[in-house]
A and B are shown apart, each in its own frame.
Chain A
């Protein structure tokens, strides 16, 4: 049941704590990308089980990245969970309408991520 998780975040420290946390808590494999465009390429190449996508990124933000992922047949089936510092009602509704699989707000404890992902994606 080992999963492969792709984290797309411009903050390297976030990539690191997510990788460490998920590996320690669940032993899942974590691959990382530092921008939307590299993230899309990585997703197409690696076909992860889930993508954790930061919303606020320079150049290409999380929403644009998500839309491109959705437009590619290789990646459109991969569930996407947004990582955001903003969790306002209006934005949450906007995320819901986009069709993301879930939203996890910062600050989070990366050790809890496997449990949260499992719950959001109904993995048993």
Chain B
């Protein structure tokens, strides 16, 4: 018996151990499964569903639920596994009274409640709660807290634990005495829920971060896209405007270029290809000399140097085009000055003026031929009248003499006009060269005054030549400067009243000599001071008839002075007189020239007898 009892006891013991082992295996398996599910799933709802289902199955409980405690003290079951015989309470909102704050605090500290029979007064359940649990047919219950650690830095600090909810098992069929392992299992699973909560929170946080970062990236991407599109638009606009510019410059029948400081082409239009047969891209980067050749470059060089020093220049040149024809061109160089006032290069504009030049040549030829053809009949007329006025071929009546005088005076005027027209045309067309030599300013002034003295006497005007303390050497064509001086003196005498004075003065400036012819005449109105230098522009149109002028004297003076790189202008006070000024370059002795060239200077007049003869005619 004893044996049997003992055996039975042993068997019972073995059964108990076996059951215990099985239960433990189940518990381990359940915890492992839940842990795996938590790992596999980041969906909290799914995890909670698994837990309640598994707990209900293993504990053979009638209902297992997860009750979430909300911040305002109320709460609701958010996951539930319940046998079909009993009412489900999932989603029901429970008032705060069901779960007072002091309970919460105790649970937060890790309290576990195991109630075998809710009706047993030892369980200590309040009456209102008993009513509640009976409403859901609860006979026994097991409650473990689900805690959430709020501290990210120190997850293990219990002070930071907050009650998130409760894991609750109900027995509805009958009271139940909960055993240790069931408690343990519930606690372990509650811990797993905490882990899942933390993970979920982390995930949520991570998702937030990802969302924020994604939004940032998206906005950055958008900005970049916008920037790229803006830039593309700007580039397109630039390209478009450049194309337009190129279209315009290419369509123009003039050479347009930009040349840098090193005298190399940075830009040139299509006309270069048309004129020179060199494509624009072949010209790019080439030096001016390379493109135009040595001879042409020699003419360009001083102009290029001038524009690179910041001065705009306009000049004429001759070029040879690709078909070998010579073309006359007008060249304009405009300096490109940066805000720091440095010249970075220049713009070149070259236009073909061959047609204009051809017309000018025809005009010059016409003037030349006409004035030459007029000369022979004029010689006869002039001489015949002069001979008649001597009276040696017979004496005319007084009326006859008056008519003869008119004919004679007007022939004189016609002779002057023909001479002046031809002079002006020759100087303008560049047909005559200014034969510049070093000559004495005082000698030229003396010569001009001497030749105008008879006219001054005739008008009763005193000619005053201001003596200079130092004589200056000029670098001029003496004949033409004397012509300019006599023209000015002749004008001054013509417009002076008898008894007044005409002065001829000279004043040295840095590199030039300033001549002045001053009179005490009627003066010139301001608005005429410029135009009187134009041909046939007298102050008063009746002047030419009254004074016997040709209207070309000042135009000739201006051309002569311009050909000497000088300036000419007039100043006047109405009723008090006028002063005509002009400048001519002074002779600068080059270091290498021997001083003896002074020995051969003409003291007076030109050494050329032909010119002298010409001047005395008429």
Contact = CB atoms under 8 A, between A and B. Distances in A.
B386 A111 contact: yes
Of listed B380, B383, B431, B433, residue having the most chain A CB within 10 A: B383
Nearest to B433: A89
Interface in A92-124: 92, 95-96, 102-112, 116, 119-120
A86 B614 CA distance: 11
Contacts of B614: 87, 103, 105
Contact of A11 (B380, B393, B609, B611): B380
Of listed B376, B432, B611, B616, residue having the most chain A CB within 10 A: B376
Contact of B376 (A21, A85, A89): A85
Given A17-B379, A106-B379, A88 B432 contact: yes
Contact of B613 (A86, A88, A102): A102
Main secondary structure of the interface of A (DSSP, over half): helix
Contact of B382 (A24, A105, A107, A120): A107
Contact of A102 (B379, B432, B609, B618): B609
A28 interface: no
Main secondary structure of the interface of B (DSSP, over half): helix
A58 to B, nearest CB: 13
A85 B613 contact: no
A73 to B, nearest CB: 27
B252 to A, nearest CB: 39
Size range of the chain A interface in the assembly: 20 to 34
Contacts of A40: none
A107 B414 CA distance: 10
B379 A107 contact: yes
B384 interface: yes
Nearest to A104: B613
A111 B431 CA distance: 31
A120 B609 contact: yes
Nearest to A116: B613
A17 B380 contact: yes
B130 interface: no
B380 A108 contact: no
Interface residues of B, number: 32
Contacts of A95: 610
Contacts of B383: 17-18, 20-21, 108-111
B386 A110 contact: yes
Interface in B602-616: 609-611, 613-614, 616
B617 A14 contact: no
Given A92-B610, A107-B382, A107-B418, A86 B387 contact: no
Nearest to A108: B617
Contacts of B437: none
Interface string B380-417: 11111011001011000000000000000000000100
Given A18-B383, A107-B378, A24 B390 contact: yes
Interface string B469-505: 0000000000000000000000000000000000000
Interface of A: 11, 13-14, 16-18, 20-21, 24, 85-89, 92, 95-96, 102-112, 116, 119-120
Given A17-B384, A110-B387, 13 more contacts: A11-B380, A20-B393, A24-B392, A86-B372, A102-B610, A107-B378, A107-B617, A107-B618, A109-B382, A109-B383, A110-B386, A116-B613, A116-B616
Interface of B: 372-373, 375-384, 386-387, 390, 392-393, 415, 418, 426, 431-433, 435, 609-611, 613-614, 616-618
7 contacts: A24-B387, A96-B610, A105-B613, A110-B379, A110-B383, A116-B613, A120-B613
